[in-house]
Structure 1
Amino acid sequence: MKDFGGQTAYWGGVGAVKTFTHPVHHGWLEEVSTHARILDYGCGYGRVVAELNDRGFSDVAGVDPSPALIERGRKLRPDLRLSVLESPPDLACASAAFDAVLLFAVLTCIPDDEAQQAVVAELRRVLPPGGLLYVSDLVLQGDRRNRDRYAAHTQQFHTPYGVFATDDGAVLRHHDLAHLHSLLSGFDLVRERTIEVATMNGHRSTAVQLLARKR
């Protein structure tokens, strides 16, 4: 999965100027030490890394497979630790290297089941027992517009229901909640909440946030 879902060109061009909006629920991180080793996997331009840094977390890093997004983040905040993820999903670090990992609106960019499983497996590797994985992602939407494009993409490409193409060229996925739960089968679910977010193309959509602890 060297190009993180087959969309290197998109995230190096159109996608590199998008605004990302999934909020951090900081109450979920109250038990996390401000000195904890935290990774934002698929950090984009470092929005969440900056937010955590500004709230006093002293050891936060971000990685993303898009050099364009990382360059954008470094220009916005030269003080942040942002790196290009060279060989997704693999991280160039030892096992149990982080105490907490954030995975915000990343699975939506990876339509394939096996590729998603590979990402979660890699994140489980770099967490110690008791480490936290905080996921925020989009669930299946019930409106006619989304149902039609799920069905069209599934019929044409035989992809899982919930995969669709945007007008500007991205192939994304909205998830059945049971699927997200199954991805986290190696974790204990600690918290779950449903929220509304603005998508990167400005639509209002339902998302879910999951806080899970590695067994």
Structure 2
Amino acid sequence: MAGGLGEFFYNDPRRIAAATTLLLMLMAGVALFTIVMLAVAGAKRLTQRFKTLPQPFWTSVTAALLAGICLASAWHYFPRHRFLFGDKYDSVMIDQRDLDAMAYLATLPGARDTLIGNANTDGTAWMYAVAGLHPLWTHYDYPVQQGPGYHRFIFWAYARNGDTDPRVLESIKALNIRYILTSSPTVRGSPFPTD
């Protein structure tokens, strides 16, 4: 049902993986709780030989262990996430001009039947979700992408040379590219050899 409502949005394997991640986090939480409970039960059993401690003590030990493990694992990932979301993606990649360009491109003859040449660092991969177009560099595999491949690399690295480079013309023909859409800004720090 969700696929029918959202068409491209819910058919994207990365979004499906993100939804699955929520279920995996739930299962990881249950597993963590079970492991901590078993560890506390083992510690309780060992200490009862020497001294009986009250139940509130063991409850607080369990809560402290769970909170400590959660905080330690969150702190472990914090620097990486702070970089990715605070520094690497510090500006809006797609603005109204990009949306207008994608909408216009979708009206051109054959645009929906070919790959659209685009960059992999400028946000134009969203044209599949916004306008139903098929970009060369995507967030998902269309129709089947098995790594960069020779022609995709040639297009990425040398497209700016245009018709003066026979490799570019060969790649455009092999990839069935009819239109090209690139945009700015690009993701800061990403190499973009065609500049």
Q: Same fold (TM over 0.5)?
A: no
More strand by share: 1
Structure with max Cα Rg: 2
More helix by share: 2
Q: Could you tell me the TM-score, scaled by structure 2's length?
A: 0.30
